[in-house]
């Protein structure tokens, strides 16, 4: 039995190389990277989203989600704290939630999307959440604090 | 502690029914009078003394150093059991013969048991489907609170405290016997503060969470348990009615509930003892009756039970996606009622052959509420019947074989959101998250085993099939799990999960050395696995229930060497390997894979001033790099622990004092199977605990 166990453990180590154990990465995409932490936008404008996604094996999909931070719940992943507006109650907060595909077999992809900020939304502090997966199911999250005026 | 471990070693030497007390752990021979139906299985009996000497924040944490058993910790006062790496619905906890039914499926749902009300524990490692039906794949933790008081009145009290979370608690027990009648009552109450970790901050993603005085914010809690029993113990007939009620309330780490980092206006640092949001509370009520009638050749047993589990999880309401901010903090509420009836019959067919047969009927009724949806309302009705035969050949060899059939019907109710979501055509709809579903599952299970003993040696082997009925969350979840921040989708087409296991056990024991080793191999053709996908649904990563082939194997070993009449050395260790052989995660392990571990302990027993012992123990845990998304590799660690146990008597009172120091060097380390591991929260720092037991 112990010999069997040893044999099993010996052969099972051989498939380690097939496994992807690394998360995908979200990085700045040069000077045009947007949105940046603490950046201000205006209603009616467009946010020109641009970030660089990389993975060691194959990228999966990404999602952009924007929600208000009027209550200062602050889950920014940036070390830098932005100056926040006073706490307030939402009336017509902007909710944006959209998933995007990345071409198959990509290990590097510069994501670019134009996101229109509606005219009639509450202005104030928002969180711009970027979520990225790879094909193995690893996820990377980046949270950017933005202000809409 | 390692000394525990040796326990099982003694199987060999023990006469049927004999019980050997070794290093505080009473280990029973795996003889037929102990586990009539499972004589070939590997098992350990844990005594009341062991529980007292190793007392930790929760029952499973107390049992954590029993080889093959793990506690999946949720803070300092709650934990989930796992046997040989299988937890959740892949193992069974039973109390006085009745399967304990709470919300076992939840990552953050601890076991609702008062550890002071337990008299002894039998741990079965390996499949036990023949007796317990669905879920008993990894094994069974069989809790017994059926010791009968010997005196007209007897009483005891335990005062216990822990330094790491400033816990203070009291457990009091009273009981008595009048002729054939007896009664018992227990009350336990404890309260603890936020626990201390050896770090100033938690780093999660790139976010630094600073801790106040190295305490994990909002992890305080309290517990209150009551139990009572009334019984009749005659020559042929005995019957006991048990009533237990447990209540616990505990906070979750405030800065990262699940995977999301959050700040709050709540002033968590105002007090280390207050329990703010997010938090959970659980009430578990159990009414249980055991009746047994026997004569020389026949034994008939009937058990009836009603359990009600009420769980509430509260967190600060926030809007998420299209869900507006709820107007109350009640995120989830589950109310589950379970009715169970067992009937067993044991018949001696001549001198060498014993037949056991039985049936179980169970009904579960589960209702949910709160603004967070994760499982729908459901009802499950199940029936199982088995036959098991044990045949003795000569005096050395015992053979057994069993067969069981189970059938279960699950009905889930449809659920639609309480808020609207925009549709593709510009309108809004109340999205349906779960549909009406009726499923019927059935399964045949079987086992064969042998036990051979000669001189100081015992060899056992067992081969069997076990299974698990898919739970409603696996069948019909379709929503956001706010505790982990992922989207979970069930699969209505899941088949019952099946498992085949071969295990064996070799042991040797003489006056100086005892040794036991237990290897096993386990194969699942269709393990139910919540698979992380690259896809997004409503802004969160989609996890989908799938079934894949899984191979697991492992070994536990332990040895004890008596260096001197008062000095002994304990050594033990365990190793477990799991691999998915098919499906999207082929080549990966399973979630929460237990890393290898080893224990070395030195025990000095002294006779002076009433007697007692001191144990110095080191626990070494290996690195776990076998992971599956979203887990992280966990480095190995080594902790040093010291325990002292001392008896003394004054007048009519007997005292027992246990003092324990865990993590003496205040090492900062992570536990791969802890709930807070994913967010980089290290395990508790140095802890001193004291238990003073007074017996009248």
Encode pLDDT of B401-422 as tens digits.
999 999 999 999 999 999 998 8
Rounded Cα distance, B357 and B131, in Å = 9
Residue B39 confidence (pLDDT)? 58
CA-wise closest residue to B97 among B204, B257, B242, B223: B242
Pairing mode of beta strands A39-41, A139-148: parallel
Distance CA B257, CA B332 (A): 14
* Phi/psi at A71 (5° precision): -95, 5
DSSP B183-227: EEEEEEEEEE-PPB-S-SEEEETTEEEEPBTTB-TT--EEEEEEE
Confidence of residue B34 (pLDDT cuts 50, 70, 90): very low
Percentage of the residues of chain A whose pLDDT score is greater than 90: 57
Q: How many CA atoms lie within 13 A of A122 on its CB side?
A: 18
Residues of A in contact with B264 (CB under 8 A): 73
Which of B336, B340, B406 shows the shortest CA–CA distance to B375?
A: B336
- What is the extent of the structural domain holding A65? 22-148
Residue ranges of chain A whose CB lies within 8 Å of a chain B CB = 1-2, 4-5, 8-9, 12, 15-16, 18-19, 21, 60-63, 65, 67-68, 71-79, 90, 93, 95, 97, 99, 129, 131, 133-139, 141
State the average pLDDT over residues B654-666: 93
- pLDDT at residue B23 greater than cutoff 60: no
Q: For residue range B322-374, what is the model confidence (pLDDT) as tens digits?
A: 888 899 999 999 999 999 999 999 999 988 999 999 999 999 999 999 998 88
Q: How far is B302 from chain A (nearest CA, A)?
A: 40
Write down the pLDDT at residue B206: 57
User: Which one of B530, B533, B534, B623 makes the best mutation probe of the A interface by having the most chain A beta carbons within 10 Å?
Assistant: B534
B236 CB burial (10 A radius; 0-12, 13-18, 19+): exposed
Task: Choose between B509 and B241: higher pLDDT.
Answer: B241
Look over chain B and give the mean of its residue pLDDT values, rounded to a whole number.
88
Residue with token string 């009996």: B45
pLDDT tens-digit map of B576-629: 999 999 999 999 999 999 999 999 999 999 988 778 999 999 999 999 999 999
Report d(CA A80, CA A68) in Å as an integer: 18
* Minimum distance, in Å, between the CA of residue B541 and any CA atom of chain A: 8
A67-95 average pLDDT score = 75
Residues of A in contact with B325 (CB under 8 A): 90
Among the partner residues A4, A18, A133, nearest to B541 by beta-carbon distance: A133
Task: Name the range with the highest mean pLDDT among A56-65, B104-113, B116-125, B199-208.
Answer: A56-65
Query: Which pLDDT does position B320 carry in this prediction?
Result: 77
Q: What CATH number should be reported for the domain holding residue A33?
A: 2.60.40.10
Contact B555 A2 (CB under 8 A): yes
pLDDT confidence of residue A78: 56
pLDDT value for B485: 79
Q: How confident is the model at residue B2 (pLDDT cuts 50, 70, 90)?
A: very low
Beta bridge mates, A113: A49
Phi, psi (deg, nearest 5) at residue B59: -55, -45
Please compute the mean of the pLDDT values over residues B421-444 and round it to a whole number: 91
Average pLDDT over residues B68-86: 88
Query: pLDDT by residue (tens digit) across B293-332?
Result: 999 899 999 999 999 999 999 988 887 778 888 999 999 9
The total of other beta-carbon atoms located within 10 Å of residue B146's CB is 18
d(CA B628, CA A19): 9
pLDDT value, residue B648:
87
Q: What percent of chain B lies above the pLDDT cut of 90?
A: 65
Q: What integer pLDDT is reported at residue B22 of this predicted model?
A: 37
Rounded mean pLDDT, B491-514: 92
Q: What is the mean pLDDT of residues B370-382?
A: 92
Per-residue pLDDT for B36 more than 50?
Answer: no
* The pLDDT of residue B471 is above 50: yes
Domain count, chain B: 1
pLDDT value of residue B13 = 30
Distance from CA of A31 to the nearest CA of B (A): 22
CA angle B35, B36, B41 (to 5 degrees): 50
As for the ipTM of the complex, it is 0.87
Q: What pLDDT score does B130 carry?
A: 85
CB-based contact B121:B33 (threshold 8 Å):
no
- What local confidence, expressed as pLDDT, does residue B164 receive? 93
Q: Is A25 exposed, middle or buried (0-12, 13-18, 19+ CB in 10 A)?
A: middle
**What's the DSSP call for residue A86?**
P
- CB-CB contact of B532 with B627 (8 Å): no
* B25 — pLDDT class (breaks 50, 70, 90): very low
pLDDT at B205 over 80: no
Give the model's pLDDT for residue B148. 93
Which residue in A74, A95, A135 is closest to B321 by CB distance? Answer: A95
Q: How far is B217 from chain A (nearest CA, A)?
A: 16
Between CA B524 and CA B151 the distance in angstroms is 50
Whole-number pLDDT of residue B3: 40
Q: Within a 10 A sphere around the Cβ of B122, how many other Cβ atoms?
A: 18
Q: Mean pLDDT over residues A24-28, rounded? A: 94
Which domain covers residue B508, as residue numbers?
2-275+282-695
- The total domain count for chain A is 1
Question: pLDDT grade, residue B8 (50/70/90)?
Answer: very low
Which of B304, B336, B375, B379 lies closest to B102, judged by CA?
B336
- Answer yes or no: are the C-beta atoms of B31 and B13 closer than 8 Å: no
Residue B530 near residue B543, CB atoms below 8 Å: yes
Helix, coil or strand: residue B53: helix
Q: Residue B7's pLDDT is what?
A: 38
What six digits make up the tokens of B547? 């079934």
Q: Around B443, how many Cα atoms within 13 Å sit in the side-chain half-sphere?
A: 23
Structure-block tokens of residue B508: 């040797």
Instruction: List beta partners, residue B182.
Output: B177, B231
Got the DSSP string for B96-134? TTEE--S-TT-TT------GGG--EEEEEES--HHHH-T
Two tokens, residue B555: 């070994």
Give yes or no for residue B1 having a pLDDT over 60.
no
Shortest Cα–Cα distance, B203 to chain A (Å): 10
Dist CA B661 CA A39 (whole Å): 52
The reported pLDDT for the residue numbered B9 is 34
| Mean pLDDT confidence for B266-291 | 93
- pLDDT above 70 coverage of chain B, percent: 93
pLDDT at B12: 31
pLDDT tens digits along B137-177: 999 999 999 899 999 999 999 999 999 999 999 999 999 99
For A49-77, how does the pLDDT look when each residue is reduced to its tens digit (9 = 90+)? 999 999 999 999 999 999 888 877 655 55
Find the mean pLDDT for residues B10-31: 36
Q: Which two tokens stand for residue A88?
A: 């307030």
pLDDT at A80: 60
- Collapsing DSSP states into helix, strand and coil, what is residue B500? strand
Give yes or no for a cis peptide into B513 (omega within 30° of 0).
no
User: Dihedral through CA B267, CA B271, CA B274, CA B276, nearest 10?
Assistant: 10
DSSP string, B11-29: GTTPPTT-EEEETTEEEE-
CB A77 within 8 A of CB A134: no
Yes or no: say if B406 and B382 are a contact pair by the CB < 8 Å rule. yes
pLDDT at B696: 86
Neighbours of B307 (CB within 10 A): 23
The residue that leads in pLDDT, B417 or B4, is: B417
Distance separating alpha carbons of residues B595 and B343, to the nearest angstrom: 40
> What residues in B contact A17, CB-CB < 8 Å?
none
A16 domain-assigned: no
- Please state, in angstroms and rounded to a whole number, the distance separating the CA atoms of residues B442 and B311: 29
Give pLDDT, residue A100. 96
In three state form, how does the secondary structure of B502-529 look? EEEEEEEECCCEEEEEEEEEEEEEEEEE
Q: Average pLDDT, stretch A83-96?
A: 85
Q: What CA–CA distance (Å, rounded) separates B681 from B214?
A: 11
**When comparing pLDDT for A84 and B306, which is higher?**
B306
- For position B600, which CATH number holds? 2.40.170.20
CB A76 within 8 A of CB A127: yes
B538 to chain A, any CB pair closer than 8 A? The answer is yes
Q: Is the pLDDT of residue B201 over 50?
A: yes
Q: Kind of pairing, strands B69-74 and B78-83?
A: antiparallel
pLDDT at B29: 40
Provide the pLDDT confidence category of residue B263 given band limits of 50, 70 and 90.
low
Which one is predicted more confidently, B633 or B15? Answer: B633
Q: Per-residue confidence at B75, pLDDT binned at 50, 70, 90?
A: confident
B631 touches chain A (CB under 8 A): no
Query: Which residue in B135, B112, B118, B138 sits closest to B126, CA to CA?
Result: B138
Q: In the structure, what pLDDT confidence band is assigned to residue B14 with cuts at 50, 70 and 90?
A: very low
Answer yes or no: do B553 and A8 touch at CB < 8 A. Answer: yes
- Partner residue opposite A97 with nearest CB, options B205, B533, B539: B539
* Helices and strands in chain A: count of H runs, count of E runs: 1, 8
């Amino acid at each position: 039995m112990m010999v069997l166990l040893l044999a099993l453990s010996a052969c099972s180590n051989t498939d380690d190389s097939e496994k992807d154990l690394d998360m995908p990465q979200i990085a700045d995409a040069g000077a045009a990277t947007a949105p940046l932490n603490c950046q201000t936008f205006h209603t009616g404008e467009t946010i020109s989203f641009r970030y660089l996604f990389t993975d060691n094996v194959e990228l999966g999909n990404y999602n952009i989600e924007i929600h208000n931070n009027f209550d200062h719940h602050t889950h920014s992943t940036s070390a830098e704290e932005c100056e926040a507006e006073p706490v307030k109650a939402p009336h017509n907060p902007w909710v944006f939630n959209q998933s995007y595909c990345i071409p198959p077999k990509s290990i590097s992809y510069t994501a670019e999307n134009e996101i229109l900020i509606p005219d009639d939304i509450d202005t104030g502090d928002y969180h711009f959440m970027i979520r990225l997966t790879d094909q193995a199911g690893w996820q990377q999250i980046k949270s950017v604090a933005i202000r809409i005026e | 502690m390692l000394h525990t471990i040796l326990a099982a070693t003694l199987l060999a030497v023990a006469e049927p029914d004999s019980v050997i007390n070794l290093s505080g752990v009473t280990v029973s021979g795996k003889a037929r009078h102990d586990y009539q139906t499972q004589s070939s299985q590997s098992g350990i009996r844990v005594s009341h003394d062991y529980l007292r000497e190793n007392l930790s924040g929760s029952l499973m944490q107390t049992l954590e150093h029993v080889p093959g058993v793990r506690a999946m910790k949720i803070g300092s006062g709650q934990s989930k059991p796992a046997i040989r790496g299988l937890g959740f619905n892949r193992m069974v906890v039973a109390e006085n013969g009745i399967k304990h039914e709470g919300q076992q499926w939840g990552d953050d749902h601890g076991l609702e048991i008062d550890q002071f009300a337990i008299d002894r524990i039998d741990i079965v490692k390996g499949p036990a489907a023949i007796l317990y039906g669905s879920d008993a794949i990894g094994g069974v933790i069989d809790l017994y609170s059926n010791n009968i008081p010997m005196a007209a009145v007897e009483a005891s009290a335990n005062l216990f405290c822990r330094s790491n979370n400033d816990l203070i608690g009291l457990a009091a027990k009273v009981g008595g016997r009048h002729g054939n009648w007896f009664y018992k009552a227990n009350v336990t109450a404890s309260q603890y503060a936020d626990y201390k970790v050896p770090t100033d901050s938690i780093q999660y993603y790139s976010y630094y969470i600073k801790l106040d005085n190295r305490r994990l914010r909002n992890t305080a809690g309290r517990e209150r348990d009551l139990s009572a029993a009334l019984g009749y113990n005659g020559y042929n007939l005995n019957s006991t009615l048990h009533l237990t009620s447990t209540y616990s309330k505990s906070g979750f780490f405030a800065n990262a509930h699940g995977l999301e980092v959050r700040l709050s206006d709540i002033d968590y640092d105002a007090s280390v003892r207050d329990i703010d949001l997010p938090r959970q509370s659980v009430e578990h009520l159990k009414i249980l009756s055991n009746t047994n009638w026997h004569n020389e050749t026949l034994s008939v047993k009937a058990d009836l039970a009603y359990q009600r589990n009420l769980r509430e999880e509260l967190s600060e309401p926030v809007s998420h996606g299209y869900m507006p901010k709820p107007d109350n903090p009640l995120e989830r509420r589950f109310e589950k009622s379970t009715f169970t009836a067992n009937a067993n019959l044991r018949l001696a067919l001549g001198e060498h052959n014993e037949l056991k047969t039985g049936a179980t009927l169970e009904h579960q009724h589960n209702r949910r509420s709160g603004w967070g949806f994760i499982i729908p309302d459901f009802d499950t009705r199940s029936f199982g019947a088995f036959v098991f035969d044990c045949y003795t050949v000569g005096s050395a060899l015992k053979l057994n074989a069993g067969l069981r059939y189970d059938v279960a019907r699950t009905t889930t109710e449809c659920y639609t959101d309480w808020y609207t979501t925009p549709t593709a055509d510009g309108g809004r709809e109340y999205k349906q998250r779960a549909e009406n579903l009726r499923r019927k599952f059935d399964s045949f299970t079987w086992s064969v085993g042998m036990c051979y003993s000669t001189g100081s040696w015992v060899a056992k082997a067992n081969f069997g099939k076990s299974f698990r009925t898919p739970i409603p969350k696996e069948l019909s979840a379709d929503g956001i799990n706010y505790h982990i921040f992922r989207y979970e989708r069930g699969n209505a087409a899941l088949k019952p999960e099946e498992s085949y296991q071969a295990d064996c056990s070799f042991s040797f024991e003489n006056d100086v050395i005892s040794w036991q080793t237990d290897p096993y191999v386990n194969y699942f053709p269709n393990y139910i696995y919540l698979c992380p996908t690259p896809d997004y649904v409503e802004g969160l990563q989609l996890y989908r229930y799938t079934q894949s082939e899984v191979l697991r194997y492992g070994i536990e070993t332990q040895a004890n060497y008596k260096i001197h009449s008062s000095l002994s050395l304990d050594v033990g260790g365990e190793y477990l390997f799991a691999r998915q052989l098919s499906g999207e995660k082929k080549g990966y392990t399973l979630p929460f894979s237990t890393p290898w571990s080893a224990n070395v302990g030195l025990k000095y027993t002294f006779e002076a001033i009433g007697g007692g012992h001191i144990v110095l123990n080191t626990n070494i845990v290996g690195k776990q790099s076998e992971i599956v998304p979203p887990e992280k590799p966990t480095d190995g660690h080594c902790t040093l622990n010291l325990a002292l146990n001392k008896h003394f008597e004054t007048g009519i009172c007997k005292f027992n004092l246990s003092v324990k120091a865990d993590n003496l060097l205040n090492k900062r380390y992570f536990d791969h199977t802890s709930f807070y591991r994913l967010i980089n929260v290290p395990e508790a720092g140095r802890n001193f605990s004291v238990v003073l037991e007074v017996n009248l």
